[in-house]
A and B are shown apart, each in its own frame.
Chain A
Amino acid sequence: MESESNKILNAFTQSEYKYGFITDIETDMAPEGLNEDIIRFISEKKQEPAFLLEFRLKSYRYWLTMKEPKWANIHYPKIDFQDIIYYAAPGKKKIPGSLDEVDPELLDTFNKLGISLNEQKKLTGVAVDAVMDSVSVKTTFSETLLKLGIIFCSFSEAVKNHPDLIKQYMGTVVPYTDNYFATLNSAVFTDGSFCYIPKGVRCPVELSTYFRINAANTGQFERTLIIAEEGAYVSYMEGCTAPQRDTNQLHAAIVEIIALKDAEVKYATVQNWYPGNKKGEGGIYNFVTKRGICKGNNSRISWTQVETGSAITWKYPSCILLGDNSVGEFYSVAVANNFQQADTGTKMQHLGKNTRSTIISKGISGGNGNNSYRGLVRIAKNAVNSRNYSQCDSLLLGNKCGAHTFPYIQVENKSSIVEHEATTSKISEDQLFYCQQRGIDMESAIGLIVNGYAKEVLNKLPMEFAMEAQKLLSVSLEGSVG
């Protein structure tokens, strides 16, 4: 069985990245490097109001005083922040009104990825805000949503049309001083998504955005802001696949979620940036700051993520449970194959009374990959009767990979209960034997077991995503058993 599985392991680790292709579109770029002039250039290009330029400059000046964090369990060559192009927009300057106006080559790219805007619009009822190289190209369903008062548009449009909301909420959950990469993002962010659900409105469709990194050597710095007013509900999905590149690309995004009284926000991600080749060359560096605040009583924020891509993932979607009875959830499947490194987890800050949080994290390591769960559960003194349950499992699929768990638990009152469990083990030989004995080949058996292992999390994804995620998981991992 040993050699058999090795063969399969080799077959899969040698398979090339399926989504690696480059779209040849003319882009409008800023010169390489980072200084105040570049920031002014970005701001001017985007015709931003003065307060935003101020915010950017303030962030940049603060960033200059900061040091790159070294605490994560990841290793990478030093990033030269002067060797990055901070702004690249697709050549088309006009925002298309309908699909016909969209560059056919761009549409073709999405078709290769299996997402036809057309089809999605007609058949699935999903409004897709496609972000290609930092500028939103196409927003569908906006008009339908507008009738309900829902604002779902690119961040730049929101800056133009709803500057008050931006001014009121931007930087309130992730302040510009938060961390090295968030501060960098605050200085140079180019675009992203904006979503506002008014009071009492239940968003009838799953909102979805696709981010793609396209032009070579351009870091991408999105910023997403989701605001759910009192009693509102929204399910938001974000997914990404990136073309194959030889040099490393930096991705430092920010996602901020604000849930007011009785509101509920579900945020799901499937992340499949280019992970680098089997020698560990290339791949995306993904340093993301995602944080939500349950500001009002009885509010609820749920993060679901499937992380299969990126050479480096540094990402901790977190919840600040400020409102009484608020609920935070985190469901994650993270895969590290070949030379991928993932350091991911969550922070649950319990501040309000009777707050509850659940953490389910499933790490899968194969090849030379390293997967770390790093999480904090903090129950503050006033968060009486709070409850947390965490479960972090790791599955090891080879003898050169690593799986690590770094939970931090802080409890400061007597009425709360915090439970944490974690297990690490290799894929069960008994289960493999059982499947094979029944005529299921090795490869399918592993797919079956891994999918079963991750089921708890995949179940939390919206239907369309669940299918994609399952496929992705199989592609990333099939058979990589030692």
Chain B
Amino acid sequence: MKEIKTDTKEIISKERMIGLFEKNREGLFMTDSEFMSRIRKDAMERFRELGFPTTKLEEWKNTDLKASLEKGYGYYLHPVIDVDVQKVFHCNIPHLDTAIIAQLNGWYVSKDVPLMELGNGMILGSLAEAFKEYPRIIEKYYGKYADFTSSGLTALNTAFAQDGIFIYVPDNVSSQKTIQMVNVIHHPESIFLQSRNLIILGKNSRISLVHCDDSYNQQASFANIVTEVFIGENASLDHYKLQNMNNDSTLISSVYFNLEQAANLESHFISFNGGLLRNNTRILFNGKGGTANVRGLYLMDRKQHIDNHVFVDHANPECTSSELFKGILDENASGVFNGHVLVRRNAQKTNAYQGNKNILLTDTARVNSKPFLEIYADDVKCSHGSATGQLDSEAMFYLRQRGISEENARMLLMYAFANEVISKISIEPLRLRIEDMVKKRLRGELSVCEHCVLHCNTPERPLEFDIDVTKI
């Protein structure tokens, strides 16, 4: 295939993206169905109006994309694979059997076939392939939940969406195997990439999904990823999002969850590393009696920036949502938490909780916390709590008094702080692996390396505390 790319040095701008779209719409998108071309056209129209977000928008007040956008990136309209796929995707969560589906630079990487149809009716694979193979499913779900009218980045993604991951779980199917979606960014140049994922869970179905974003080298990148998740009636999704990117990467991940009646979502956002990470999580209760638990843990240092935006739309009665985001910020890192719970007029018997706790380890680290509640129904229980501080000096004293070195005591307290989120991870091998990662991260031993989160060839030596914590 002829290589279509634009200059690497060029900054990302609204004009560049509009130009790129106009220039390639005939060649690239001509195979689109009528449905797809209409969505692309509408999304592009909206992007022309909205452009890239600036700090003038309330939603982006504390996260400035300007510097990231101006770094200069190449943009590819076709897959670029110049590494040995086998080498990149070695999964090694000890004792965890997963079905891996992988993306490299936003494109689906097929070892065998682009779309796998499993015996139980589940379909896993490339979204680009699904556009062709399953137009009826696509038309029913695609673009219905990721609202591009209010977000410039989602509009841009919708206009350009070419590939990503597609998962379809039919009604009444439960998968024993954990599905692992790995998105690796690895390119000799700086690239701007956009990928799009669509995940559909039919009625009464149940799956566990581990979704990783990793970078494989130290090259700068800008990723704009949109994921739509439909959770059908009484279905259940156990979702883990792990992020371990290099310090020059910018990752904007927007996940739109749609929960039908009595659907259940457990979601975890674990951010270990990244230059600028922004997680937009939007949860819509589209039926009665849904439950959503969203937890997050971020461990940031250097000049890293993390921004977690969680919007929960209680559009229907008797739903329960709970958010807990905890972060430890070191050196010059900055963290943002923006939770917004909207309880609409008819959403009676709503239960909602938002929690955000931060530890600042230096005077140069910063935190912005905005837990918003907007409530229009009366029979509700909603609360939020936000606390920012440092390690408890009394707890520290207690440990020191018992002969534990200051550094170890600090580690122990930080680990205990993080453990509130980690302990909720229900897949045991994954929990153990993340526990280990957190310990390493806290000791500064885990930097982003070619051996990223879950596919280490040579797992580093397991880390132990200097003292036996079980005896304290």
Contacts and interface: CB of A to CB of B under 8 A. Distances in A.
Interface of A: 71, 73, 381, 384, 394, 396-426, 482
A424 B383 contact: yes
Given A409-B386, A416-B389, A422 B378 contact: no
A304 to B, nearest CB: 24
Given A399-B348, A413-B360, A422 B380 contact: no
A405 B385 CA distance: 11
Interface stretch (B2-10, B296-304, B366-374, B450-458): B366-374
A417 B390 contact: yes
A396 B378 contact: yes
Nearest to A404: B374
A400 B377 CA distance: 7
A414 B373 CA distance: 27
A409 B388 contact: yes
Contact of A406 (B363, B372, B376, B385): B372
A401 B375 CA distance: 8
A420 B385 contact: yes
B365 interface: yes
B363 A418 contact: no
B430 interface: no
Given A406-B372, A419-B389, 20 more contacts: A396-B375, A401-B378, A402-B376, A404-B372, A404-B374, A406-B370, A408-B370, A411-B358, A411-B388, A413-B360, A414-B390, A418-B388, A418-B389, A419-B385, A420-B371, A420-B386, A422-B373, A422-B384, A423-B382, A424-B373
A408 B371 CA distance: 8
Contacts of A394: 373, 375
B137 interface: no
A422 B381 CA distance: 11
B426 interface: no
Contacts of B389: 416-419
B389 to A, nearest CB: 4
A378 B279 CA distance: 24
B378 A409 contact: no
A402 B342 CA distance: 11
B386 A426 contact: no
Interface string B215-254: 0000000000000000000000000000000000000000
Contacts of A400: 345
Contacts of A424: 373, 375, 380-383
B366 A412 contact: yes
B173 interface: no
Contacts of B378: 396-399, 401, 426, 482
A421 B363 contact: no
B173 to A, nearest CB: 39
Contacts of A408: 368-370
A417 B388 contact: yes
Nearest to B365: A414
B120 interface: no
Nearest to A376: B370
Given A407-B386, A409-B367, A399 B360 contact: no
B382 A409 contact: no
24 contacts: A396-B375, A399-B378, A401-B378, A402-B374, A405-B371, A405-B373, A408-B370, A409-B367, A409-B369, A410-B368, A411-B366, A412-B366, A413-B360, A413-B363, A414-B363, A417-B388, A418-B387, A418-B389, A420-B371, A422-B384, A424-B381, A425-B381, A426-B379, A426-B380
Contacts of B366: 410-412
Nearest to A370: B376
The interface centre, meaning the residue of B368, B370, B376, B380 with most chain A CB atoms within 10 A of its CB, is B376
A422 B382 CA distance: 8
A421 B365 contact: no
A441 B365 CA distance: 55
B407 interface: no
Contacts of A407: 369-372, 386
B75 to A, nearest CB: 35
Nearest to B329: A414
Which of A71, A404, A410, A414 is the most central at the interface, judged by chain B CB atoms within 10 Å of its CB? A414
Most buried by B among A401, A408, A411, A416: A411
A339 to B, nearest CB: 14
Given A396-B380, A400-B345, A423-B382, A414 B374 contact: no
B34 interface: no
Contacts of B373: 394, 403-405, 422, 424
Contact of B383 (A384, A399, A423, A426): A423
A409 B368 contact: yes
B362 interface: yes
Contacts of B364: 381
Nearest to A426: B378
A346 to B, nearest CB: 15
B368 A421 contact: no
A355 B90 CA distance: 53
B82 interface: no
Interface string B346-363: 001000000000101111
A333 to B, nearest CB: 18
B58 interface: yes
A421 B348 contact: no
B391 to A, nearest CB: 10
B382 A399 contact: no
B381 to A, nearest CB: 5
B149 to A, nearest CB: 19
B375 to A, nearest CB: 5
Nearest to B338: A408
Interface string B10-50: 00000000000000000000000000000000000000000
Closest 9 CB pairs of A and B: A417-B389, A396-B378, A409-B369, A423-B383, A424-B382, A420-B386, A405-B373, A414-B360, A402-B376
Nearest to A403: B375
A401 B377 CA distance: 7
A40 B385 CA distance: 51
Contacts of A397: 378
> Which of B362, B369, B375, B378 has the largest count of A CB atoms less than 10 A from its CB?
B378
Nearest to A372: B374
Interface in B290-338: none
A394 B383 CA distance: 10
Contacts of B380: 396, 424-426
A422 B360 contact: no
B363 A417 contact: no
Contacts of B381: 423-425
A410 B371 CA distance: 12
Contacts of B361: 414
A196 to B, nearest CB: 39
Contacts of A404: 372-375
B318 to A, nearest CB: 15
B119 to A, nearest CB: 48
Contacts of A421: 383-385
Contacts of B372: 404-407
A396 B378 CA distance: 5
Nearest to A387: B389
Contacts of A411: 358, 360, 366-367, 369, 388
A318 B428 CA distance: 49
B386 A381 contact: no
Nearest to A418: B388
Nearest to A71: B58
A413 B369 CA distance: 14
A396 B381 CA distance: 10
B370 A409 contact: yes
Contacts of A399: 345, 348, 377-379
Contacts of B390: 414-415, 417
A421 B369 CA distance: 12
Interface in B253-309: none
Contacts of A402: 374-376
Given A414-B360, A417-B388, A422 B375 contact: no
A482 B370 CA distance: 30
Interface string B48-89: 000000000010000000000000000000000000000000
